[in-house]
Chain A
Amino acid sequence: MADKSLPSFQGTQEQEQKLLEVIEKNKDLPGALLPVLHEAQEIYGYLPIEVQQMVADGLNISLSEVYGVATFYTRFSLTPKGKHQISVCLGTACYVKGSDKVLEEVEKMLGIKSGECTPDGLFSIDSCRCVGACGLAPVMMIDEEVYGKLTPAEVHKILARYMEREGGSV
């Protein structure tokens, strides 16, 4: 029940206007919630409580129903994506080669869990299933860059470079 630390909501007037239009367009259709959430995520990049409340208000349904749908489908994200999006492959090949240790190291260094974003908005972590580079297992991607044959020590070095470049310390 502990509140996760999230960067504060930075929605603009323009985004809100767009969302209200989407709601208006869909609100009388049966099953409006799913398409509205899809577009809301397009507009904001994720579905924070502020956005889900606007959807609940607009469609006249309860927040818990909106939240239930938003957490049921894995394509919806409750957390913003960071400037650098880290994706650790947990596909079969990577997993048997120890990608769980890779993910653990990333989580430890950034102090967040998979699916979350650092409070400064710089890094977010996700896990994925196979990026088509099984020969390099275990693999992680940072933005468009692929890093293979990783060990926790290797991960530490790579991530430290990104962090230093962003002006932080490890």
Chain B
Amino acid sequence: METVHLKINNIPVEVPKGYTILQAAKEANIEIPTLCYLKDINCIGACRVCMVEAKNRRGLLAACVYPAEEGLEVFTNTPAVIKSRKTTVELLLSTHKKKCLSCVRNNNCELQKLAVELGVDEDKFKGEEPRFEIDDLSPYIVRDNNKCVNCMRCVAACKNVQSISVIGGIDRGFNAHIGSAFDKSLDQAPCVGCGQCVVSCPVGALTEKPQDQQVWDAIADPSKHVLFFTAPSIKATLGEAFGMPIGTNVEGKMAAAIKRLGTNVKAFNMDFTADLTIIEEANELVERIKNGGTLPMFTSCCPGWVKFVEHYYPEFLPNLSTCKSPQAMFGAVLKGYYCQKNSIDPKDVFVVSVIPCTAKKFEATRPQLRSDENYDDVDVALTTRELARMIKRAGLEFADLPDEDFDAPFNKATGGGVIFGATGGVLEAALRTAARILDGDFKKIDFEEVRGPEAIREVTYEVAGVTINVAVTSGLGNARKLLEKIKSGEANYNMVEIMACPGGCINGGGQPYRTDSVSNFVDYKALRSKALYDQDKACEFRVCDDSPVIKMIYDEFFEAPGKEKAHHYLHTSYVARDKYYK
């Protein structure tokens, strides 16, 4: 590998050719502050916060894009550098809505962090503010451009990562702002709701539509049974909101915390309905293969992906598995089976899902998912961040809580359900079950070929004389590439797993905010995934069929996969949507 030698604040460093000054400085344990820079997503050198000085170079250089050159002598902390950064931040603050105390990004805001580090005068320049209307019409994302710093990170995430580009820069100069075409609300735009814009935002301009207050209200109502369930990935990320190391599995503390939110609260394990999804989906796949159904079959558990197909590739709607997502299945199980079994009126049940995702908030409102036309099966979908806020408000010392089990009867799940939270996990769990349907003696459990960071993974398996071609990808930009391959006939698969967010749910739009330092220098996706795969390995049962809860629910309620009752409660339909409108 070709390297270059340079000095950062007189410290000699040797780095691979192609590194930027920012990356080179990190090698010398110096972190140059950034704002618009987001590794691999937004590298435009626009905000001018990362300015540094270099010997024999005119003016200041933007460290995030300036290449580390042989012999370069860089200084990251000179008075000129600090003055420049400080003025830049003071100008940004001139029109910034400085409502830090009531902002959800308080204490985890990149702009606030810069302001503190640089010792700025927040009132140095006085600009007009507020200037923009808040867009809170969609059921999943709120945009407050009065807090926006026009860093373009959300625009880059939407365009470069997701290939959707439903938001962009509008107008110029003082009126420049971010929004959808013709300044329509996000609610009226063909947005899939993935929330990658939200987790890319350095400030409080983008947040989920908050629904935690609705949950507090339900908890305060003694006539309500408040039933929580947590998605597979939450256990791998929630700890971060409490300062625990990335990749800490906090399943036991999470269950304990939720149960302590109120006496009418129960905490269930959504890994159970991940198992349930697999039972239905693997059966659907085998049926499709045997009976000449539409192939490839696409997984349907990711609501961002489903809405992407509805808007941009409606010709592939018949390929989507008709299985509801684990969230929707759990809602149906609780308002159907659970209410019936415990003689509770579904109107007295308040179902709260905790999900890694803003799109699930939209999914919860889909009329196609109602198993009874009079109510939604899931009342509120909370992001990981919202659950963390609730736990904090309840005054629970999260890190010191005991590890507890989820509440019965939905407390047990298999490793197959656990790995739903990482890209490739759904397909792997489905393969474990499908292989067993085809060959009762099939022994392979770890389908490691479908895991990992490669953008698109394609594998062929032979089971009992049947050839199964599968593909996995995550990130909608990659999904688009895969769909075009299928469309052109270049690729031929039986089953395809797609997650809208790169890396799967562990990197969902509702996950705890990462500092830029983590986004730019830590492989946080690998760390979070590892927590799930480690748990899978340690599970008593790893194939979804083996779950005792699955056996119970089919015996007591659904009879058999794909049967009439299962179909009513666990399957759904999709709608073609316009590519320019809601």
Contacts of A61 in B (CB 8 A): 165
Determine which of A52, A64, A72 lies in contact with B180 in the assembled complex, contact meaning CB atoms within 8 Å.
A64
Q: Which residue of B lies closest to A52 (CB)?
A: B181
Contacts of A109 in B (CB 8 A): none
Give bound CA distance, A21 to B166, whole Å.
27
Give bound CA distance, A66 to B181, whole Å.
8
Q: Is A77 engaged at the interface, CB distance under 8 Å to the other chain?
A: no
Contact in complex: B135, A1 (CB < 8 Å): yes
Q: Which residue of A lies closest to B155 (CB)?
A: A64
Contacts of B185 in A (CB 8 A): 1
Contact in complex: A72, B165 (CB < 8 Å): no
Contact in complex: B137, A67 (CB < 8 Å): no
CB proximity to A under 8 Å, residues B175-204 = 180-185, 189
Q: Is A92 engaged at the interface, CB distance under 8 Å to the other chain?
A: no
Determine which of A49, A65, A72 lies in contact with B182 in the assembled complex, contact meaning CB atoms within 8 Å.
A49
Determine which of A1, A52, A53 lies in contact with B184 in the assembled complex, contact meaning CB atoms within 8 Å.
A1
Determine which of B159, B171, B189 lies in contact with A71 in the assembled complex, contact meaning CB atoms within 8 Å.
B171
A97 to chain B, nearest CB (A): 25
Q: Is A168 engaged at the interface, CB distance under 8 Å to the other chain?
A: no
Q: Is B555 engaged at the interface, CB distance under 8 Å to the other chain?
A: no
Determine which of A1, A53, A67 lies in contact with B168 in the assembled complex, contact meaning CB atoms within 8 Å.
A67
Contact in complex: A62, B172 (CB < 8 Å): no
Q: Is A63 engaged at the interface, CB distance under 8 Å to the other chain?
A: yes
Contact in complex: B182, A62 (CB < 8 Å): no
Determine which of A62, A66, A72 lies in contact with B166 in the assembled complex, contact meaning CB atoms within 8 Å.
A62
Q: B543-582: contact bitstring with A at CB < 8 Å (1 yes, 0 no)? A: 0000000000000000000000000000000000000100
Contacts of A53 in B (CB 8 A): 580
Give bound CA distance, A64 to B165, whole Å.
7
Contacts of B137 in A (CB 8 A): 1
Q: Which 4 A-B pairs have CB atoms at the shortest separation, nearest pair first?
A: A62-B165, A64-B168, A67-B181, A63-B181
Contacts of B189 in A (CB 8 A): 64
Q: List 14 A-B contacts (CB under 8 A).
A: A1-B133, A53-B580, A62-B159, A64-B165, A64-B167, A64-B168, A64-B181, A66-B181, A67-B168, A71-B170, A71-B171, A71-B172, A72-B169, A72-B172
Contact in complex: A72, B168 (CB < 8 Å): no
B181 to chain A, nearest CB (A): 4
Q: Which residue of A lies closest to B172 (CB)?
A: A72
Q: Is A68 engaged at the interface, CB distance under 8 Å to the other chain?
A: yes
Contacts of A49 in B (CB 8 A): 181-182
A40 to chain B, nearest CB (A): 15
Per the CB 8 Å criterion, the residue count for chain A at the interface is 14
Q: Is B164 engaged at the interface, CB distance under 8 Å to the other chain?
A: yes
CB proximity to A under 8 Å, residues B107-151 = 133, 135, 137
Contacts of A64 in B (CB 8 A): 165-168, 180-181, 189
**Which interface residue of A1, A63, A71 has the most chain B CB atoms within 10 A?**
A1
Q: A44-87: contact bitstring with B at CB < 8 Å (1 yes, 0 no)? A: 00000100110000000111111110011000000000000000
A56 to chain B, nearest CB (A): 8
User: Residues of A with Cβ closer than 8 Å to B?
Assistant: 1, 49, 52-53, 61-68, 71-72
Contacts of A67 in B (CB 8 A): 168, 170, 181-182
Contact in complex: B171, A72 (CB < 8 Å): yes
CB proximity to A under 8 Å, residues B416-441 = none
Contacts of A68 in B (CB 8 A): 168-170
Determine which of A1, A52, A65, A71 lies in contact with B165 in the assembled complex, contact meaning CB atoms within 8 Å.
A65
Contacts of B164 in A (CB 8 A): 62
Give bound CA distance, A49 to B137, whole Å.
21
Q: Which residue of A lies closest to B188 (CB)?
A: A1
Contacts of B159 in A (CB 8 A): 62, 65
Give bound CA distance, A63 to B159, whole Å.
12
Give bound CA distance, A19 to B121, whole Å.
52
Q: Which residue of A lies closest to B167 (CB)?
A: A64
Give bound CA distance, A65 to B156, whole Å.
12
Give bound CA distance, A71 to B182, whole Å.
9
Contacts of A63 in B (CB 8 A): 181-182, 580
**Which interface residue of B137, B164, B165, B167 has the most chain A CB atoms within 10 A?**
B165
Q: Which residue of B lies closest to A78 (CB)?
A: B182
Q: Which residue of B lies closest to A67 (CB)?
A: B181
Contacts of B166 in A (CB 8 A): 62, 64
B113 to chain A, nearest CB (A): 29
Contacts of B181 in A (CB 8 A): 49, 52, 62-64, 66-67
Q: Which residue of A lies closest to B187 (CB)?
A: A1
Contacts of A65 in B (CB 8 A): 159, 165, 168
A3 to chain B, nearest CB (A): 8
Contact in complex: B183, A1 (CB < 8 Å): yes
Give bound CA distance, A61 to B164, whole Å.
9
Give bound CA distance, A62 to B182, whole Å.
12
Give bound CA distance, A52 to B189, whole Å.
15
Give bound CA distance, A123 to B78, whole Å.
58
B161 to chain A, nearest CB (A): 14
Q: Besides the contacts A62-B165, A66-B181, what 18 more A-B pairs have beta carbons closer than 8 Å?
A: A1-B133, A1-B137, A1-B183, A1-B184, A1-B185, A52-B181, A62-B159, A62-B166, A62-B181, A63-B181, A63-B182, A63-B580, A65-B159, A67-B170, A67-B182, A68-B169, A68-B170, A71-B172
B173 to chain A, nearest CB (A): 10
Q: Which residue of A lies closest to B184 (CB)?
A: A1
Contacts of A62 in B (CB 8 A): 159, 164-166, 168, 181
Contacts of B133 in A (CB 8 A): 1
Give bound CA distance, A1 to B137, whole Å.
10
Contacts of B184 in A (CB 8 A): 1
Give bound CA distance, A1 to B168, whole Å.
15
Give bound CA distance, A16 to B137, whole Å.
34
Give bound CA distance, A72 to B133, whole Å.
20
Give bound CA distance, A148 to B185, whole Å.
42
Contacts of B172 in A (CB 8 A): 71-72
B130 to chain A, nearest CB (A): 14
Give bound CA distance, A68 to B177, whole Å.
10
Q: Which residue of B lies closest to A53 (CB)?
A: B580
Give bound CA distance, A64 to B183, whole Å.
9
Contacts of B167 in A (CB 8 A): 64
Give bound CA distance, A71 to B172, whole Å.
7
Give bound CA distance, A72 to B177, whole Å.
11
A117 to chain B, nearest CB (A): 16
Contacts of B165 in A (CB 8 A): 61-62, 64-65
Give bound CA distance, A53 to B581, whole Å.
11
Contacts of B168 in A (CB 8 A): 62, 64-65, 67-68
